[in-house]
Structure 1
Amino acid sequence: MSAATSVATSAVVSTATFAELGVPEVLTGLLRASGITVPFPIQAATLPDSMAGRDVLGRGRTGSGKTLGFLLPVLTRLAATPRKRRPNRPRALILAPTRELATQIHDAAKPLADALGLRTAVVFGGVSARPQISALRSGIDLVIACPGRLLDHVGAGHAILDAIEITVLDEADHMADLGFLPMVKRILDATPAGGQRLLFSATLDNGIDQLVRRYLSNPVTHAVDSQHSEIPDMTHHVLHIDAEHRLPILIELATAPGRTIVFTRTKHGARKLARQLAAARVPAVELHGNLAQNARTRNLAAFSQGQATTLVATDIAARGIHVDDVSLVVHADPPVEHKAYLHRSGRTARAGNSGTVITLMTDAQVGEVRDLTRKARITATTTRLAPGDPLIGTLAPGERSLADPARIATLTGSAADLTRPGPAGIVPSAGKPAQRRRRGSVRSGSGDGHAAGAARKSADSVAAAGSARSGGKPVRASGAPSAGSGGAAKASQRFRGRAR
């Protein structure tokens, strides 16, 4: 399929409503009931072209509203041309780089699709393939998938892509970073060349430009911001500390009201720090690639629903995770490169909210952090301090409170564990490493990974949890890859703050 260079670029922000942009009333009503009445810039820019069937390249950072930007036209166009469902032959496909992102997209799509009489399913590795096979066999309109597991189903004949009318690539640059482009190309080659294709990416490097040239036909490009655009309500601080003060300062930050995400460089570091915080009676859970799927689901759900106020994670959580009202992001370990800094930091100050980003820096990391902030093009205030400094209370304000040990025990281990230090003074964790997968025609852990194996772990290991909710209202966190869960009545819980 030959593809011309993008013929138009738009940075103009429209003032049109969803209805004026062509979204049907049944969907605008659901959005309105969830408090979503004004389109985000990326939605206002792309909807006229995507609704008209044009190929679209949307450029915008994570959290800019891309999810509704492609869900609304995909579902609207499917509903406008109803067809009899055929087993194993979905009509539309959305590709996402991680399990967690695929699930969040599905949770956003499900109530909208239900209102239009459409069926959806989500497909990813790390879980049983049988419910996915059953959903595909029953006939669905839209499948949201990670590349590896989808290719497993294609190879086994459970998914046939010759009826795909619309294909969406979400966070294409992240798929490229994880080494997924060869799989993405195989999938796109299996879809009809004349179908509509929507590609959303923060950048056009790492081969994304090749995808655009090869698979998008005469695309319209809409760039509403760039990867270096600073969010006005996000403030950046670097705390210059002594290495031995790292944990006490993290405890001071994490005990402030509100949700906090703490990033570490390694899986071992995330696990150790989560245990240390829990031992200090901070309600913290961990999220990294060494956790089994049920542990990742449980931990992210606990953080989303407010049972845990601190999530300690590796860079696997830097993309695709959306949790309402994350007020603070802490780089306990500075990331190795500036893109990771921007993506980590993007977990806060989303959907018009404000947020604070703090990087902890030791003497040995001064040059590294200086280069990091320069390449990220952010201006950070650097302060040398020790535990107890009043600035900590300013950056993470509010009355400090420590959780009841019995409450933390339900999240991280037994009550005895929390009072009995383990090796290196830390407490054991309830999260167990993933077990060796069983043999089968479709491997439960095979999906969504790089052929070399390294990318497989990082890309497809984030929890398959439901979208986050604030205000103490619980939200379902489901790892089930079946053809759907919940219903239109849950639309308000699923949408608010999540028009990404």
Structure 2
Amino acid sequence: MNATPPVSGAPGARPHDRAGSRRDEPGAADAPAAAGTFEGLGLPEELLRTMTGLGVTEPFPIQAATLPEALAGRDVLGRAQTGSGKTLAFGLPMLVRTAGQRAEAKRPLALVLVPTRELAQQVGLALEPYAKVLGLRMATLVGGLSMGRQAAALKEGAEVVIATPGRLTDLVGRRDCHLDRVRTAVLDEADQMCDMGFLPQVTEILDHVPPGGQRLLFSATLDRNVERLVAGYLAEPVTVSVDHAKAAVTTMEHHVLHVHGADRFAVATEIAARDGRVLMFLGTKAAVDTFTRHLRDNGIRASALHSGKSQPQRSHTLDQFKRGDVTVLVATNVAARGIHVDELDLVVNVEAPTDAKDYLHRGGRTARAGESGKVVTLVTHGQRQDVAKLMSAAGIRPTVTQVRSGEAELTRITGARRPAGAKPEQTGRRPFRGLGAQPKKENRKAAEARKAAEARRAAQVRKSR
């Protein structure tokens, strides 16, 4: 097979022989503690200056462990939880090894595959300043946005493409993108892509990428489907683990709050009324919309995020949450990966997830990059056994507390308080019919007025972008 040649800007880069001899480290090795600085890890000076200007000076363990190997062209298999610094761990070597080359129209040189639109955009924003200083063009290819504009960006030439599997498959099928020049292919959050049913598309995409290049795969867990990708597409990778497969972030507190079924949404409403932002998870789009309306009725600045929203709406909602214009983001699992919000110290599972990995990724929205945070799960009597099994599978030993709305213990743990903006008949203690309640049927005039208002808001969002 062909070997990847050394690339300009990668000091000490050596060819990567995908048919080479066995490595000495076949198993997963724990990453060492982070080095003091990025100097000495093989990055070019222009990148180091940019990183210093952005305040990025101390590498996280996954970065310190993988950067030298990835810069040298070796395949890397990294196991790391969300928020551990994976983006720069794969992004910097990918950019450095691509620097100095120019992509032809529709033929990118490096590819990053991610499971969600939000994660694709986050990766693009994180890598943009480094790509710019190295003179590289990037294109983000995701559903929910104009395919025509994305095809035009590819035609103009983009060295690096960040994409979700579905949109990239569509563009390849339309012959708007050819992968025959890709030398570095990255799979980020590989387990999530498999869980979401993208494995056939991922393997089809990787089959279009020519052999002999570099593969970097990062995943929180290494289950059967991920192992299939590793066996089929990585050549004797350097394997690094920065934490155990079930590990929780050490700066994260986990609380299980036992609540009465009839009191659960009153408890959640009081938590939502706390000072500061909070991210709340429910299981379905309908549940998210219903509970968001309930919070707004109680005077709480809440907004909904789920796959039923258009991409401009989702981006606008996230921007509002990051700025603090919205203090409560109510979401389905669409936000459990790829959403980075600084100083978010509380995540609440109003409805507990059914899978341990979903729990870990929901919780990974807080306590990022060494910051502290809490994950709170509301559990009714009939759910206790299932949630206990889930916590055990996730490797979590939560603090369990029985609470009721209005109690001091609830305030101590979460900062909960009675909504200040609610009308007297709309307090956090007022009965809530629950997520299964059917909304009151609108008459035709009211429905038309509501749809017109939604259309105006959507137009304003598009105009603001």
TM range (shorter): 0.7 to 0.9
Q: Which has the higher contact order (CA 8 A, sep 6+)?
A: 1
Work out the CA distance in 2 between the residues paired with 1:102 and 1:86.
22
In the TM superposition, residue 141 of structure 1 has moved relative to its aligned partner by 0.8
Q: State the partner residue of 1:346.
A: 364
Letter in 2 for 1:109: L
Letter aligned with residue 205 of structure 2: I
Q: What is the 5 A alignment of 1:48-447? A: 48-79=68-99, 82-397=100-415, 402=420, 423=439
Q: Specify the code of the residue in structure 2 equivalent to 1:423.
A: P
Q: Which residue of 1 aligns with 2:9?
A: none
1: distance between equivalents of 2:228 and 2:293? 44
- Backbone CA RMSD of aligned residues: 2.9
Secondary structure of 2:368's aligned partner = coil
What is the CA-CA distance between 1:423 and the residue it aligns to?
Answer: 2.8
User: Contact 1:123/1:146 (CA < 8 Å) preserved in 2?
Assistant: yes
Decide whether aligned partners of structure 1 residues 317 and 431 sit closer, same or farther in structure 2, where only a CA change above 3 A counts.
farther
Q: Which moved more, 1:281-290 or 1:37-46?
A: 281-290
CA distance in 2: counterparts of 1:20 and 1:91, whole angstroms = 26
Alpha-carbon distance in structure 1 between the residues aligned to 2:124 and 2:107: 18
Contact residue 34 and residue 58 of structure 2 kept, 8 A: no
Distance, in Å, in 2 between the alignment partners of 1:292 and 1:58 is 32
- Structure ID, larger Rg: 2
Residues 299 and 419, structure 2, Cα contact 8 Å, conserved in 1: no
**CA distance in 1 between partners of 2:304 and 2:379 (Å):** 22
Deviations 1:368-406 (A, max 9, x none): 22212222221112221211111122112388774699x
Q: In the TM superposition, what whole-angstrom CA distance separates every residue of 1:406-439 from its partner, at most 9, and x where no partner exists?
A: xxxxxxxxxxxxxxxx93699999899x99xxxx
Aligned residue number for residue 464 of structure 1: none
1:251-275: per-residue Cα shift (whole Å, max 9, x none)?
A: 2211222221111011111111111
Give the partner amino acid of 1:397.
Answer: G
Contact 1:315 1:340 in 2 (8 A): yes
In structure 2, the partner of 1:30 is 50
Pairwise CA distance, 1:7: 4.6
Residue 267 and residue 163 in structure 1: after superposition, are their counterparts in 2 closer, same or farther (change >3 A)? same
Match of 2:29 in 1: 10
List structure 1 runs of 4+ shifted beyond 6 angstroms: 1-6, 398-401, 425-432, 476-480
Whichever residue aligns with residue 107 of structure 2, its letter is R
CA separation in 1, counterparts of 2:464 and 2:298? 30
Amino acid at match of 1:31: M
Is this contact kept in 2: 1:16–1:44, CA < 8 A?
no
Shift of the alpha carbon at 1:6? 6.7
Q: Deviations over 1:88-118 (max 9, x none)?
A: 1111000001111011101111111111111
Q: Deviations over 1:123-155 (max 9, x none)?
A: 011221111111100111100011111111111
**Does the CA contact (< 8 Å) of 1:297 and 1:478 recur in 2?**
no
Q: Which residue of 2 aligns with 1:412?
A: none
C-alpha change, 1:252 and 1:404, in structure 2 (3 Å) is closer
Q: Is the 8 A contact 1:322 1:347 kept in 2?
A: yes
1:44 aligns with 2:64: yes
**Partners in 2 of 1:403 and 1:300 — Cα distance?**
23
Paired amino acid for 1:35: G
1:268 alignment partner, SS class: helix
Q: What amino acid is aligned across from residue 129 of structure 1 in structure 2?
A: M
Q: Kindly provide the amino acid, as one letter, of the partner of residue 392 in structure 2.
A: R
**Paired-residue identity, %:** 45
TM-score of the aligned structures, taking structure 1 as reference length: 0.79
8 A Cα contact 2:406 2:418, kept in partner: no
Which residue does 2:39 correspond to in 1? 19
TM-score (norm 2): 0.85
- Mapped contact 2:120–2:163 kept (Cα < 8 A): yes
Does the 8 Å CA contact 1:258/1:325 hold for their aligned counterparts?
Answer: no
Distance in 2 of aligned mates of 1:352 and 1:54 = 28
Distance 1:430 1:76 in 2: 51
Unaligned runs of 5+ in 1: 406-421, 436-475, 481-500
Whole-angstrom distance in 2 between the partners of 1:478 and 1:353: 36
Residues 253 and 398 in structure 2, CA contact (< 8 A), matched pair in contact too: yes
Residues 6 and 158 of structure 1, relative CA distance in 2, 3 Å threshold: farther
Distance 1:306 1:206 in 2: 40
Aligned residues: 422
State the AA in 1 paired with 2:137: R
Partners of 2:270 and 2:416 within 8 A in 1? no
What displacement does 1:228 show? 1.3
The DSSP-based 3-state class of the residue aligned with 2:280 is strand
SS of 2:201's equivalent? helix
- Residues 269 and 419 of structure 2 are in contact (CA less than 8 Å); yes or no, is this contact kept in structure 1? no
Q: Determine the C-alpha separation between the residues in 2 that align with 1:401 and 1:30.
A: 44
C-alpha change, 1:215 and 1:335, in structure 2 (3 Å) is same
In the TM superposition, 1:445-456 aligns within 5 A as: none
